[in-house]
Structure 1
Amino acid sequence: MATLTHATTDYSNTSTTNWLTNYKNYVDKAEFNRIGWAATAVALQGCILSPVLLLVMFNTGGGDWQFLLSMLCFLLVIVPILSALPVKFIFPAFATSLILHVLVILIDLL
């Protein structure tokens, strides 16, 4: 008895890629410079974001929850770096920390 086979055609268009594929490709290429990305994330977090948030918070009378959020965001960036996790974990952690810091600063200023 003969087997029936169906011809499978690939309908995916390789010329268009979505943002997730672009992100994965970028992270794979950035893995070679993981130490540089980690140092940049720590430097931006520790030398710019946290001090600016603390200065704005103390000048405008921010609450304790803002200080707690700042410290937790700092840990959110430090833990993947000290755990030697790949860059695909460092980027989202830093992006989350950056967004939360900017939101708290805007809350204090407005």
Structure 2
Amino acid sequence: MDEKSAFLGTENIRKLLFKLSTPIVIGMLVQAIYNVVDTFFVGMVYGADDVQAIGGLSIAFPIQMMVMAFGIMLGTGGSSIISRALGARENEKAEKTLGNVFS
């Protein structure tokens, strides 16, 4: 087994869950903070009286989050299939799945 993937079979589940989910959580938090700051700056530029600009951001934010969630869904599903293929030592299947996730 490769050294980079050996910890998946030996590490504590709680540590693994925290270690592997941290990048996704940080990414979602950064995205939410980005949208709050974006709304703040749009409010400063157009003023509090122009609600259409902030309304546009309010419509775009859920759409942006859905696109991001779709990407996370593909990544999570792909990583599940890839990890099972690597565990079964089917490297060709893992490489093919990785290519399909990115295409």
TM-score (norm 2): 0.38
More helix by share: 2
CA radius of gyration, larger in: 1
TM-score (norm 1): 0.37
Task: Report 1 or 2 for greater relative contact order, CA contacts < 8 Å, sequence distance ≥ 6.
Answer: 1
